[in-house]
């Protein structure tokens, strides 16, 4: 998987990627005409040409499928025309969601790391806990989101914490599984060498196991970043939160504001990209410190 | 295997059962007047015995020991949950005890079955089949063009990393409240992992094997069918397993945005709002069972189909 990706990237993926994206946008415009046409025909006068129809489908206030430029205009409007602290600004909503996702990610990182260390060092935990960690990945954990939010709300805990709890709960599994794999990555020869040096468990961990695990930490961190964001967004749905990208999605679907939904969706995608880029940056920095590779 | 872990297990299970009855009596309204001290003593014996049993089983090898340890651990967690909730009289609206969840499961079996049929048998299976099938076919279609592959692959990787569940409200608007809108979300969610993994899998066959096929003057189709698709199977199964979880998540979350009065996502969100947490937990149990059983079935199928793969060879 990894080898495949890098070799493809090396051959220059920019041009094909641009071509695919342009084709996608073209398909999108055609799709906007097709999907919005019934609604647009009602507004147009009899005998209007195709040119009028296309123009009408690309500039409706509540289209079935908004045209890409409408989404771009809405994004620009909600990003730049209001001060970023105003609830009408998309930056404000994005920050509400991202802060919950980040808090959850921090919680997941700490817990996942701790659990992985325990599982690698204690055989009982490995045998009893690890199967449940793996099994819990096959369970649709997002389904519990509404309940967690409602229950914590009953306890008087609202706002960031319930969302962070769900984001953390989702993000914690890939980190745990990845770190267990990573901490076990050193081969027996290296472990034997540490034993001949009479290294203590702590030294084996800090000098061998932990450095070896970094190559596994970053891929699982990439998955965790996306999951934390998804968790934070979904956690905003059940209570009808006032702020956040999930709240924008919900409000948009209640009032039929499709352009607003798509803008929130693109914002969420941008946040996910930003998170992935941040992980890649940290990975590069860590690799550079270690002389080029993890 | 030694007998000691089995004895500890038996003692632990008996102690746990007695402690469960004792704590119900010690809680307000108990009839036999079991004391707090007796309850604590029984609970301590149960925990200690179960712990020793787990330690014993964890030392052993073989499938039984590997199964017994997590099973006991799971039992211990459920039992602790039950004991703490009853012992501290935790309000029902916060956390119902497992026994209440089991009762709700039995009492609302018909309702839960209907929800399961609506969400899983309709939305998940239809969306999963369509999404995985389309991803697979598109991967085959772009396989012959390196240009398209280089364009689609980064795109697929990018989109797989996005919070796709967010399209749920749009799909509900397009396809209505019934299950097709949920299936549509599932299609989009499962399409890209399948595309990316199948493409990666098709690149898996080694150069020597390809050269051999070429020396046989095998056509593209024959090479694909006899060499490259079998070699791609492990990657395809990775996507199938990943997608089985994603599909369930997509369908459940899509129901939060609007649904007829049926479905697991609908049940969870409305019953949570009505504080019927035992029914919520029962629905979550159904979802967990459906998720892990489909994952397990796929894992077994994978084992049967790709028995030649190094990750299965050598393990019994």
Q: Mean per-residue pLDDT for A148-166? A: 81
Give A-chain residues touching B235 at CB under 8 angstroms.
1
Which residue has tokens 């060879």? B313
Q: Mean per-residue pLDDT for B198-224? A: 89
Rounded Cα distance, B86 and B94, in Å:
12
Rounded Cα distance, B211 and B61, in Å:
44
Of A68-82, A95-109, A169-183, least confident by mean pLDDT is A68-82
pLDDT at res. A160: 82
Enter the tokens of residue A243: 């702020």
A104 vs A234, which has greater pLDDT? A104
Element (H, E) at A131: helix A130-136
> Which residue on chain B is closest to A152 by alpha carbon?
B94
> Least CB-CB distance to B169: which of A253, A269, A272?
A253
Neighbours of A22 (CB within 10 A): 11
Separation in Å, CA of B188 to nearest CA in chain A: 14
> Which residue on chain B is closest to A135 by alpha carbon?
B292
Mean pLDDT for chain A overall: 82
pLDDT at res. A5: 44
pLDDT-derived band at B133, boundaries 50, 70, 90: very high
Query: How confident is the model over A15-44, as pLDDT tens digits?
Result: 888 888 888 889 888 888 888 887 777 777
Separation in Å, CA of A273 to nearest CA in chain B: 8
Contact A140 B154 (CB under 8 A): no
User: Among residues of chain A, what percentage have pLDDT more than 90?
Assistant: 10
Contact A143 B245 (CB under 8 A): no
Give A-chain residues touching B275 at CB under 8 angstroms.
150
Which residue has tokens 């396989």? B143
Q: Is the pLDDT of residue A66 over 80?
A: yes
Rounded Cα distance, A251 and B269, in Å:
17
pLDDT at res. B314: 55
Tell me the residues of chain A between 111 and 170 that have a Cβ less than 8 Å away from chain B: 123-124, 126-132, 135, 137-144, 146-147, 150-151, 154-155
pLDDT-derived band at B196, boundaries 50, 70, 90: confident
Q: Mean per-residue pLDDT for A144-164? A: 79
A283 vs B162, which has greater pLDDT? A283
Cβ contacts of A98 within 8 Å, gap of 6 or more: A229, A232, A271
CB B234 within 8 A of CB B200: no
Per-position b or e across B122-134, b if 16+ CB within 10 A of its CB: bbbbbbbebbbeb
Q: Is B177 helix (H, G, I), strand (E, B) or coil?
A: coil
> Least CB-CB distance to B147: which of A16, A143, A222?
A16
Per-position b or e across B250-259, b if 16+ CB within 10 A of its CB: bbbbbbbbbb
pLDDT-derived band at A216, boundaries 50, 70, 90: confident
Rounded Cα distance, A172 and A136, in Å:
11
ipTM above 0.90, yes or no: no
* Domain assignments of chain B as residue spans, ordered by start: 4-90, 106-305
For A120, phi then psi, to 5°, come to -70, -35
Q: Tell me whether A226 touches chain B (CB under 8 Å).
A: yes
Q: What is the pTM of this model?
A: 0.81
pLDDT at res. B316: 40
pLDDT at res. A10: 47
> Least CB-CB distance to A272: which of B163, B257, B280?
B163
Measured CA to CA in angstroms, residue A291 lies from A257, A294, B115, B231 at distances of 51, 8, 55, 35
> Least CB-CB distance to B291: which of A19, A138, A253?
A138
Tell me the residues of chain A between 245 and 284 that have a Cβ less than 8 Å away from chain B: 245, 249-250, 252-253, 256, 258, 261-262, 264-265, 268-269, 272-273, 276
CA-nearest of A25, A30, A170 to B155 is A25
* Tally of CA atoms within 13 A in the half-sphere of B79 that contains its CB: 23
pLDDT at res. B25: 65
pLDDT-derived band at B56, boundaries 50, 70, 90: confident
CB B238 within 8 A of CB B247: no
Rounded to the nearest 10 degrees, the angle between the axes of helix B168-175 and helix A258-289 is: 150
Q: Is A61 helix (H, G, I), strand (E, B) or coil?
A: coil
**Torsion angle of C-alpha atoms A254, A255, A260, A265, degrees rounded to 10:** 10
Q: Is the pLDDT of residue A104 over 90?
A: yes
pLDDT at res. A197: 92
**Disruptive mutation site among A97, A138, A154 for chain B (greatest number of B CBs within 10 Å):** A138
Name the segment(s) of chain A with CATH classification 1.10.3720.10. Answer: 66-289
CB A143 within 8 A of CB B272: no
A137 vs B254, which has greater pLDDT? B254
Element (H, E) at B18: helix B4-26
pLDDT at res. A1: 36
Q: Could you give the angle at the alpha carbon of B229 between the alpha carbons of B227 and B231, nearest 5°?
A: 65
Measured CA to CA in angstroms, residue A264 lies from A26, A251, B285 at distances of 22, 11, 32
Q: Which of A85-89, A121-125, B154-158: highest mean pLDDT?
A: A121-125
Q: Mean per-residue pLDDT for B106-128? A: 90
Q: Which fold has domain B106-305?
A: MetI-like fold (1.10.3720)
CATH no., domain A66-289 = 1.10.3720.10
Mean pLDDT for chain B overall: 84
* Tally of CA atoms within 13 A in the half-sphere of B103 that contains its CB: 8
Rounded Cα distance, B175 and B183, in Å:
10
Rounded Cα distance, A186 and A193, in Å:
11
């Amino acid at each position: 998987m990894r080898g495949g990706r890098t070799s493809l990237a090396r051959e220059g993926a920019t041009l094909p990627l641009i071509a695919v994206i342009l084709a996608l946008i073209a398909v999108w415009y055609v799709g906007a005409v097709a999907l919005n046409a019934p609604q647009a025909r009602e507004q147009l006068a009899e005998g209007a040409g195709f040119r009028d129809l296309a123009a009408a489908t690309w500039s409706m206030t509540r289209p079935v499928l908004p045209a890409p430029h409408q989404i771009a205009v809405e994004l620009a409007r909600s990003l730049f025309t209001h001060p970023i602290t105003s609830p009408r600004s998309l930056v404000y909503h994005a920050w509400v969601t991202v802060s919950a996702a980040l808090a959850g990610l921090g919680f997941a990182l700490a817990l996942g790391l701790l659990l992985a260390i325990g599982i690698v060092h204690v055989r009982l935990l490995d045998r009893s806990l690890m199967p449940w960690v793996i099994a819990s990945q096959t369970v649709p954990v997002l389904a519990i989101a509404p309940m967690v939010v409602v229950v914590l709300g009953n306890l008087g805990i609202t706002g960031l914490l319930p969302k962070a709890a769900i984001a953390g709960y989702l993000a914690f599994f890939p980190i745990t599984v990845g770190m267990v794999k990573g901490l076990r990555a050193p081969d027996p020869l290296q472990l034997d060498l540490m034993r001949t040096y009479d290294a203590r468990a702590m030294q084996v961990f800090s000098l061998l196991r932990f450095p070896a695990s970094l190559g596994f930490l970053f891929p699982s961190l990439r998955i965790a970043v996306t999951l934390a964001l998804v968790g934070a967004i979904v956690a905003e749905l059940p209570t009808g939160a006032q702020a956040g990208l999930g709240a924008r999605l919900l409000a948009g679907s209640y009032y039929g504001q499709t352009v607003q939904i798509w803008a929130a969706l693109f914002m969420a995608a941008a946040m996910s990209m930003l998170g992935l880029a941040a992980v890649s940056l940290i990975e590069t920095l860590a690799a550079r410190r270690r002389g080029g590779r993890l | 295997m030694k007998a000691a872990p089995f004895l500890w297990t038996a003692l632990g299970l008996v102690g746990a059962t007695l402690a469960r009855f004792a704590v119900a009596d010690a809680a307000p309204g108990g009839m036999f007047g079991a004391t707090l001290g007796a309850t604590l003593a029984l609970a301590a014996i149960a925990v200690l015995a179960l712990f020793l049993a787990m330690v014993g089983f964890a030392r052993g090898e073989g499938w039984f020991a590997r199964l017994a340890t997590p099973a006991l651990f799971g039992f211990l967690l459920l039992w602790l949950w039950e004991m703490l909730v009853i012992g501290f009289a935790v309000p029902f609206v916060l956390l119902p005890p497992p026994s209440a969840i089991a009762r709700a499961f039995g009492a609302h079996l018909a309702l839960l079955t209907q929800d399961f049929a609506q969400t899983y048998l309709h939305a998940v299976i239809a969306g999963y089949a369509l999404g995985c099938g389309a991803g697979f076919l598109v991967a085959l279609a772009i396989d012959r063009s390196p240009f398209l592959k280089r364009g689609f692959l980064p795109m697929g990787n990018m989109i797989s990393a996005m919070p796709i569940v967010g399209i749920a409200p749009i799909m509900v608007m397009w396809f209505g409240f019934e299950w097709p809108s949920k299936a549509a979300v599932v299609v989009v969610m499962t399409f890209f992992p399948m595309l990316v993994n199948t493409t990666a899998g098709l690149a898996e066959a080694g150069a020597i094997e390809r050269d051999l096929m070429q020396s046989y003057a095998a056509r593209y189709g024959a090479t694909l069918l006899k060499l490259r698709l079998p070699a791609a199977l492990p990657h395809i199964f990775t996507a199938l397993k990943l997608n089985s979880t994603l599909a369930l998540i997509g369908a459940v979350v899509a129901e939060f945005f609007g649904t007829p009065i049926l479905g697991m996502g609908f049940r969870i969100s409305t019953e949570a709002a009505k504080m019927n947490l035992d029914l919520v937990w029962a629905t979550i149990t159904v979802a967990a069972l459906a998720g892990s059983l489909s994952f397990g079935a796929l894992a077994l199928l994978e084992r049967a189909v790709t028995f030649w793969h190094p990750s299965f060879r050598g393990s019994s």
